[in-house]
A and B are shown apart, each in its own frame.
Chain A
């Protein structure tokens, strides 16, 4: 019974947070886009990557974007490295199940979940670049539970 009441409250808070973000975004979107375009693409990926010796992926459940304790633990280990980095690139991905355009949005939401966690931990949002490839760039092309679990990921790279 309590859960039933708690959920709408949670959703409401989430909605408020999203509203704040989207208002901020309206002002700076064009700037953000230009910055992104100048660092994205093949050229961007040829820049020197910061080596962390940490796992570079966090994984998700099907049609979910929430981080578990293990993911959060990994992300916290990134914090000292992020201080030295110029750019944190977060690349969201999905498995092949379901529809492509929905998965594009879901991959974005996964990457944003990571971004929001880092921001809460004090990382400047300006450093973070988010991109989703949906289900278009799987790590494993097989169609089974193992491949799907590996493909539902956010890849973290520092530059």
Chain B
């Protein structure tokens, strides 16, 4: 009966405004300058398509403060094919890379063939060319694919422009929502609304489901929600509190925390046979599990020595290793995609900040300078960390790029936003 008390709003698309919008706070010092030349358009095709595509790509590439652009009004020429392209027009403007392209018609059904070329101005060579066939109704999606390819070509890192974020919004003290959106905050969808707290969203590796904790029945319970059907299933684990679910890299099980009468330990939960297997057994608090990229280890927080510190446990041998020793608060660790470093929340003189550490070294590097930072999540290419922080009474998301150290924020218009979870890449 209680369940009916809560309003279930599934996939209510809200395109009119987005809750999150990225603001660049500090770009890196020596940003590469990119010219996104409006794409040429074949006769007979809507002329604005060319400009729309180059603007979408420009918007993506500038999203996290990793590049600067050459404004369209300052361009000396607007080439759309290699034969019209002159390096000197771009060299003189201090441009490092130029992107040109052309939109051609495939058939009368609105299918387009979009070809593009990327030039390295300093080396005077074409470094990428490609073409994509897609619908005129999906210019934004096509632009994301092109953005991913040129980002990968320039930085050597996977492009992440078609990934998504999940997060918890607390718009007033009585309203908790779990939402997903594109990484630029657009296309926000509310997955579930409740009067009781919601915590700990985590994406399944196939991006089709999200696991999270909901208090809708009065205590912490883990739910898995299917993003297509909207169906929600609770995990009937025993114990008082079930929390902190994280999907294994193969998507077949969850690591989670079960508290049998007040003793939280890490368990593995098989989604096939619903079997619960104990991983840790200690009277202290063991929580916040997360898988290593090779699935062999799980990092977790434990206060077994008196203060929260990070440990890892081998899921087969059950051998444990302490990972942090400096400071009296190191918690909610996650592995980098390469498995060689970790990032976590580091408490230092009453400030809680996002920090990283190589597994091979003792040295902890603090990345953020605000004081109430938590819930860090990493982009699938390992270059961007977003985290929750607080300004006055409102929570918002902050972000940092690891290579160039540019900083950005995703402010929220109403209430507080927290616990960002970054989706995996599309396969």
**Are A and B co-members of a single complex?**
yes
Fill in one digit per residue for A11-53: 1 if any B CB lies within 8 Å of its CB, else 0.
0001100110110111001101100110111111000000000
B264 within 8 A of A: yes
CA A15 to CA B240, docked complex, whole Å: 19
Given A21-B261, A98-B345, decide whether A41 and B375 contact each other with a Cβ distance below 8 A.
no
Enumerate chain A residues within 8 angstroms of B260, measured Cβ to Cβ. Answer: 22, 25-26, 29
Enumerate chain B residues within 8 angstroms of A141, measured Cβ to Cβ. Answer: 393
B253 within 8 A of A: no
Q: Are A40 and B199 in contact (CB under 8 A)?
A: no
Q: Are A99 and B283 in contact (CB under 8 A)?
A: no
A97 within 8 A of B: yes
Residue from the list B2, B283, B332 in contact with A102, Cβ < 8 A: B332
Given A14-B283, A109-B285, decide whether A136 and B199 contact each other with a Cβ distance below 8 A.
yes
| Residue of A with least CB distance to B302 | A102
> Which of the 9-residue segments A71-79, A80-88, A127-135, A149-157 touches chain B?
A127-135
A-B contact pairs, 9 of them (CB 8 A): A26-B260, A37-B218, A43-B5, A101-B287, A101-B301, A104-B243, A104-B244, A132-B220, A136-B215
CA A37 to CA B196, docked complex, whole Å: 14
| Residue of A with least CB distance to B328 | A63
CA A30 to CA B237, docked complex, whole Å: 9
Within 8 A of A (CB), among B276-305: 283, 285, 287-288, 301, 303
Q: Are B218 and A40 in contact (CB under 8 A)?
A: yes
Fill in one digit per residue for B66-96: 1 if any A CB lies within 8 Å of its CB, else 0.
0000000000000000000000000000000
CA A22 to CA B258, docked complex, whole Å: 12
* CB of A106, distance to nearest CB on chain B (Å): 7
Q: Are B243 and A109 in contact (CB under 8 A)?
A: no
B184 within 8 A of A: no
CA A142 to CA B372, docked complex, whole Å: 12
**Main SS class of interface, A:** helix
Enumerate chain B residues within 8 angstroms of A40, measured Cβ to Cβ. Answer: 217-219
**Quick one: which of B195, B374, B390 has the most chain A CB within 10 A?**
B374
Q: Are A97 and B372 in contact (CB under 8 A)?
A: yes
B223 within 8 A of A: no
B62 within 8 A of A: no
* CB of A121, distance to nearest CB on chain B (Å): 18
Q: Are B195 and A42 in contact (CB under 8 A)?
A: yes
Q: Are B218 and A136 in contact (CB under 8 A)?
A: no
CA A106 to CA B219, docked complex, whole Å: 15
Enumerate chain B residues within 8 angstroms of A101, measured Cβ to Cβ. Answer: 199-200, 243-244, 257, 287-288, 301, 332
Q: Are A21 and B263 in contact (CB under 8 A)?
A: yes
Q: Are B219 and A131 in contact (CB under 8 A)?
A: yes
Within 8 A of A (CB), among B313-355: 329, 331-332, 345, 347, 350, 352
Enumerate chain B residues within 8 angstroms of A106, measured Cβ to Cβ. Answer: 285
Q: Are B287 and A105 in contact (CB under 8 A)?
A: yes
CA A25 to CA B283, docked complex, whole Å: 14
Enumerate chain B residues within 8 angstroms of A132, measured Cβ to Cβ. Answer: 220, 241
